[in-house]
Amino acid sequence: MIKFFRKIRQDLLSKGKTIKYFKYAIGEIFLVVIGILIALWLNNLNQVSNKNQERQKLKISLIKELRENRNSFSNYKNYVNECNKKNIIILNISAGKQTDLPIDSIRKYVVNMFPIRTLGFNESVRKSTNSAGKLDLLTMKEGKAIADYESSVENYKEARKINTIWKESNRQMFSYLSVFEQRINQNLEIRLPNMTLVNHSDYDLSDKEFIDYLQNIETYTKLKDIFISTTVDITWLESIIEDIDKTIEVLQ
């Protein structure tokens, strides 16, 4: 092709057709420029297409992770809420309210009112996206939604660090209420059959002693403190679930 154009230019020069030569040269330059612009345009279209594909894949991964985490947060919130229902019953008994519940049920409620399950959720996609600098693929609105969700999760983690349920001053109460022994023995039945953890005799309360201890003002104060902590936990979880729903809606 280059030889063809060169031959035309040489023929025009050899025949003394200078004006036509310049016109042709200008036309040839124009064609070259148009060709370059078309190539750049096609390359840009290809880059935009690749970026859109990468962005779509990222959004799909983020939405999948968000939905999984929503289930985890929702299930944990429901679990804590069930613990709180038992906590209210025990708090009322601790405050002196009469109840028809048998003592075995009261003891069982006490054991199950403390949320000892761990909360697990996935952050791999979000963290890898941050570290790889791929958040730039998202629109400003999408990026802000992710940032708001991330902020809620980090604030919740900090709030859980100061949660007062498992503070040291509550440990003696847990022993008197046989909280850990019964929970541990439930697990031992599965993991270590024929093994049992026995509570110290000083913590082995009769039914009357158990109720008396439960209705002690110090015990009531600690139980109420725990109830407040779990209620705050539920509020945090509801807020995070709401943020997840908003983020998914923006990403879709």
Distance between CA atoms of residues 4 and 187, nearest Å: 87
Cβ within 8 Å of residue 125, ≥6 positions away: 61, 62, 64, 65
More confident residue, 187 or 94: 94
Q: How far is CA 233 from CA 76, 80, 84, 96, 245, in A?
A: 10, 8, 11, 27, 19
- Of 117, 125, 111, the residue nearest 58 (C-alpha): 125
More confident residue, 211 or 196: 211
Q: What is the CA radius of gyration of the chain?
A: 35
pTM of the model: 0.72
pLDDT tens digits, one per residue of 32-59: 777 778 777 766 766 665 677 888 888 8
Distance between CA atoms of residues 111 and 105, nearest Å: 10
Which pLDDT does position 138 carry in this prediction? 85
